[in-house]
Amino acid sequence: MNKFYVALMALSCSTAALAQQKGTESKANYQLASKFSPEKLKKLIFTTSITPNWINHSDRFWYEFSDSNGKYWYMVNPVANKKELLFENISLAAQVSRIVKNPVDAQHLTLNNVKFTKDEKNVRFQVLSTKDTLKSADEIKKLTNKSDTLTKKTFFLEYNLATKKLRELSDSTKEKSRLSWASFSPDTSTVIFAKNFNLYWMDKANYEKALKNESDSTIVEHAITTDGVQYYAWAGDEYSTTTGDTKKDTKKPNRRSAWVNWSPDGKYFAISRKDNRSLNPLWVINNVGSKRPTLETYKYLLPGEVDSTETELYIIELATKSKKRINVTAFKNQTLSLWTKDASSSSYKGDHYINYWLGTNSEFYIARSSRDLKRIDLLRVDINGTVTTLVEERSNVYQDIKKPYLLKNGAAFIHWSQRDGWGHYYLYNRQGKLQSQLTEGAYNCEEITAVDEATNSLYFTANGREAKEDPYYLHHYSVSLNGGQPKLLNPGNYDHQVSVSESGRFFVNNSSRVNTIPEMNLFNSNGQLVMPLGKADLSQLFAAGYKFPEPFTVKAGDGVTDLYGVMYKPFDFDSTKTYPIVEYVYPGPQTEAVNKSFGRSMDRIDRLAQFGMVVITVGNRGGHPARSKWYHTYGYGNLRDYGLEDKKVAAEQLANRHPYLDINRVGITGHSGGGFMSTAAMLVYPDFFKVAVSGAGNHENNIYNRWWSERHHGVVEKVSAKGDTTFTYTIDQNTSLAKNLKGKLLIATGDIDNNVHPANSIRMVDALIKANKRFDFLLLPGQRHAFGDMTEYFFWKMGDYFSQHLIGNSKYEEVDMVEINREKPKN
């Protein structure tokens, strides 16, 4: 035996021993992953953010807060700097028990639909009991199983704040539910709705009849239009998209909302209409929804397809019911955005919400966008039919648009634009002449939260302005309409989500990072802390073994651009061991799958790491729009591959920093765009990414919806010498690279996904088979895009797949998924 052979044998033995040692230390931890299931997290995590319920549009509000001791309701008066319990739980629980006849204690109060009365003397809410009661006549009429006529009784209760006494409301006293299809005129005398593909109206007296019984044969209703047909309906198409319900009688659809926009004086309303009859349909087959498999048909416009019709804009005069078509045509296949006034106290007449147009009695504002979104116009439309172009936005890549804010009854307006590469506010006069740029710099303005014209102050949210912070963290600011530097109102190195009172004088601030306990505080418009409102109770979560993830920063593939991510480790992490890396991805461009505050997507990311992997999420060039326009549109024209390099180099940089990361065991997973991206990664970098689990991926973006695909990838508009306009669209597809697959790939889809059609996954499967590749395919019956009630099953299949192919062992040999079974009682 020569020396070379001896050395080779020794090396082989040592490699085998090392592999055996790694196999011993790397065992998938199913038990730890099961400790943080969605069902368990419901009992470990309580209130992490507060939603203020502003009382009758004032600065006062109430909110609900829960911790490990139970649930509480608080009322806050910011002006008086006063916070107090809305109810005394022990007393209220006793009163509820007496009325409902179900025992309730102070820690287990459940109140639904809590609402103050107009006089603010009483609070009304509902409590569900265990008492059986007969369903309503309308409910029984809709039943498939006619014997299922019983339901649990809901008690309607009223609590007097002065006497602290509770009473049950009689049928005549309790608040009637509103009918969702009713669009009230500003004086509430007329109700507009859609039926039989047309517009109808009825008076208030007949609406009152409908409130009692929608099937009342004495209800009188009048047609405004008569030419509506399916797919060319007034107020939109009842059956242009699937809902999952089988519609047997399409000739007699029920009343439905018309979504009309009213003038403030109620004399006119605006509405758009589009002829979709020539658009091609798609189909899915529901094999498990009923006795017979059912075919669902819906209109679905694919990128690059001919769109032969244009959106029509109409103004209808209420008194005469006459309609006038407004000529707003400028671009072929243009999109119209009909803006509505922000909801406020003036949006309500009694209990009825009025959907006002954005404008005055004589005019309203809309946006007009070209199909490629490179041209966007802000328009003012007069009721006489005159259309005035106020602002023209032009770009070589697609653009975004936001609703303008009208000042001084339309004498001026605030416009949001990315014309200098960042989202900023600009002040224009009524004629559309630029007066000044209100904000500027390398940061992104997000939303106008309030305007105080008395003090000339604009309040808004923005991100990226504060140095040495993650640029995605949102903050609240004010700036003078006369110019100057913005004032930061909620400092702190956290992500801040705000809710502002209608007056703009106060705001509730929810702040956290992925690695901090959420806090909720009340501030005034000067940025002064009024009072703390709460801090999340994570005591039981930590007691179960939870540990915060770790934010990180790396460089993109260009070596210059900063990318921000989060690393999730197993809670039993041991730095002396090595772990595979799994990237959880969503490429955007409308968002990125990187959490910025605590508690989002915990069950998908934190829990996946518990099998014994380090899971990372990280942004990529071409991702989130909250950064620069350059960053956001980086992938324009290269929608398949644009983000892959950044995912690869991020994992490499982290592995260089941390010896416990095994760069030779890298997996990737994602859903929807992330499903498409994870498969693309396996095919573009087949020697780097070893395992992928791809859910509901749009692997062939030429058969995904036109809006997303054309918007973010681009569509080419061509105008012939004769003036004819056509559109062409080409894009690289995952299927063309099927021959490159080297690693382990699991593709999953729901079979009735009407967002990303199952054909995307099936064509990927077809390409892999034709390339003679071994892979795995999971079809989830009766599931739409989000996988519905099979989400948990899919999670454990994903855990199995990564455990087997990255860690080295899994529970594939076990038939039962005991981790799911143990969560549910057996019948």
Asked if residue 709 lies in contact with residue 702, where contact means CB atoms within 8 angstroms, the answer is: yes
- Residue 353 CA to residue 141 CA, distance in Å, equals 29
Asked if residue 100 lies in contact with residue 155, where contact means CB atoms within 8 angstroms, the answer is: yes
- Residue 185 CA to residue 265 CA, distance in Å, equals 9
Q: Is the pLDDT of residue 323 over 70?
A: yes
Split at pLDDT 50, 70, 90, the class of 3 is very low
Please give the structure tokens belonging to residue 253: 């659809």
Q: Strand (E) positions, 619-753?
A: 661-671, 691-695, 716-719, 725-728, 744-750
- 468 φ, ψ (degrees, to nearest 5): 65, 25
Q: Is the pLDDT of residue 26 over 90?
A: no
Which amino acid is residue 579, in one-letter code? Y
- Residue 584 CA to residue 594 CA, distance in Å, equals 9
User: What CATH number was assigned to the domain covering residues 543-821?
Assistant: 3.40.50.1820
pLDDT of residue 142: 58
DSSP letter, residue 737: G
- Residue 185 CA to residue 422 CA, distance in Å, equals 40
Using one digit for the tens of pLDDT, what is the confidence trace for 560-585?
999 999 999 999 999 999 999 999 99
The whole-number average pLDDT for the span 388-415 is 95
Q: Is the pLDDT of residue 12 over 60?
A: no
Helix (H), strand (E) at residue 4: helix 3-25
- Residue 406 CA to residue 461 CA, distance in Å, equals 18
Q: Strand (E) positions, 86-170?
A: 112-116, 122-134, 150-160, 166-168
- Residue 736 CA to residue 759 CA, distance in Å, equals 15
Q: What is the CA radius of gyration of the chain?
A: 29
- Residue 827 CA to residue 823 CA, distance in Å, equals 13
Which amino acid is residue 476, in one-letter code? H
Q: Strand (E) positions, 147-242?
A: 150-160, 166-168, 183-184, 190-195, 198-203, 222-223
- Residue 729 CA to residue 717 CA, distance in Å, equals 9
Q: Is the pLDDT of residue 490 over 60?
A: yes
- Residue 135 CA to residue 143 CA, distance in Å, equals 10
Please give the structure tokens belonging to residue 795: 């999670």
The whole-number average pLDDT for the span 128-142 is 73
Using one digit for the tens of pLDDT, what is the confidence trace for 583-597?
999 988 988 999 999
Using one digit for the tens of pLDDT, what is the confidence trace for 607-633?
999 999 999 999 999 999 999 999 999
Asked if residue 202 lies in contact with residue 220, where contact means CB atoms within 8 angstroms, the answer is: yes
- Residue 779 CA to residue 758 CA, distance in Å, equals 9
Who wins on pLDDT, 506 or 290? 506
List the domain boundaries for the chain.
Answer: 53-168, 543-821
Asked if residue 623 lies in contact with residue 611, where contact means CB atoms within 8 angstroms, the answer is: no
Q: Starting from the edge strand earliest in sequence, which strands make up the sheet with 150-160, in order? A: 112-116, 122-134, 150-160, 166-168
Q: Is the pLDDT of residue 25 over 60?
A: no
Q: What is the DSSP pairing of strand 744-750 with strand 776-780? A: parallel
pLDDT of residue 240: 54
- Residue 781 CA to residue 779 CA, distance in Å, equals 6
- Residue 130 CA to residue 133 CA, distance in Å, equals 9
What is the CB neighbour count within 10 angstroms for residue 455? Answer: 11
* Direct distance between the N- and C-terminal alpha carbons of the chain, in angstroms, rounded to an integer: 68
- Residue 38 CA to residue 662 CA, distance in Å, equals 29
Q: Output the DSSP codes for 292-310.
A: S-EEEEEE-PPTT------
Please give the structure tokens belonging to residue 406: 């009208």
The whole-number average pLDDT for the span 319-332 is 96
Split at pLDDT 50, 70, 90, the class of 601 is low
Which residues on neighbouring strands pair with residue 337, listed in sequence order? 367
Which residues on neighbouring strands pair with residue 203, listed in sequence order? 190
Mean pLDDT over the full length of the chain? 91
Residue 630 C-beta-side C-alpha neighbours within 13 Å: 5
Q: What is the DSSP pairing of strand 614-618 with strand 562-568? A: antiparallel
pLDDT of residue 14: 37
SS3 462: strand
pLDDT of residue 827: 65
Q: Is the pLDDT of residue 19 over 90?
A: no
Using one digit for the tens of pLDDT, what is the confidence trace for 350-363?
889 999 999 999 99
Split at pLDDT 50, 70, 90, the class of 147 is low
Helix (H), strand (E) at residue 74: strand 70-77
pLDDT of residue 822: 81
Q: Is the pLDDT of residue 104 over 60?
A: yes
Split at pLDDT 50, 70, 90, the class of 409 is confident
Query: What predicted TM-score, i.e. pTM, was given to this entire model?
Result: 0.92
Which amino acid is residue 556, in one-letter code? A
DSSP letter, residue 754: S
Using one digit for the tens of pLDDT, what is the confidence trace for 513-551?
999 999 999 999 999 999 999 999 999 999 999 999 999
Kindly compute the dihedral angle of the four CA atoms of residues 372, 375, 380, 384, in this order, to the nearest 10 degrees: -70
Q: Specify the range with the lowest mean pLDDT, choosing from 1-10, 58-67, 348-357, 817-826.
A: 1-10
Distance set, CA 260 to CA 140, 357, 433, 602, 801 (Å)? 32, 9, 30, 40, 50
- Residue 225 CA to residue 158 CA, distance in Å, equals 43
Quick one: angle between helices 673-684 and 644-657, nearest 10? 70
Tell me how far the alpha carbon of residue 503 is from its chain's centroid: 27
How many residues can be counted in the chain? 827
- Residue 255 CA to residue 180 CA, distance in Å, equals 9
Helix (H), strand (E) at residue 682: helix 673-684
Q: Is the pLDDT of residue 252 over 70?
A: no
- Residue 344 CA to residue 78 CA, distance in Å, equals 19
pLDDT of residue 566: 97
Using one digit for the tens of pLDDT, what is the confidence trace for 180-219?
999 999 999 999 999 999 999 999 999 999 998 998 999 9
What is the CB neighbour count within 10 angstroms for residue 557? Answer: 17
Helix intervals (H) in 519-588: 539-543
Q: Is the pLDDT of residue 16 over 90?
A: no
Which residues on neighbouring strands pair with residue 389, listed in sequence order? 379
pLDDT of residue 474: 98
Distance set, CA 705 to CA 700, 738, 751 (Å)? 11, 23, 17
Nearest to 379 by CA among 423, 335, 420, 343: 335
pLDDT of residue 819: 87
- Residue 521 CA to residue 758 CA, distance in Å, equals 46
pLDDT of residue 351: 85
Please give the structure tokens belonging to residue 173: 């006293």
- Residue 782 CA to residue 11 CA, distance in Å, equals 53
Helix (H), strand (E) at residue 608: helix 606-609
The whole-number average pLDDT for the span 691-716 is 94
The whole-number average pLDDT for the span 733-743 is 97
Please give the structure tokens belonging to residue 363: 């005019």
- Residue 296 CA to residue 248 CA, distance in Å, equals 12
Q: Is the pLDDT of residue 387 over 90?
A: yes
Phi-psi region of 817 (alpha: psi -120 to 50; beta: other; left: phi over 0): beta
Q: Is the pLDDT of residue 8 over 50?
A: no
Nearest to 694 by CA among 658, 670, 665, 724: 670
Split at pLDDT 50, 70, 90, the class of 228 is very high
- Residue 511 CA to residue 494 CA, distance in Å, equals 6
Q: Is the pLDDT of residue 400 over 90?
A: yes
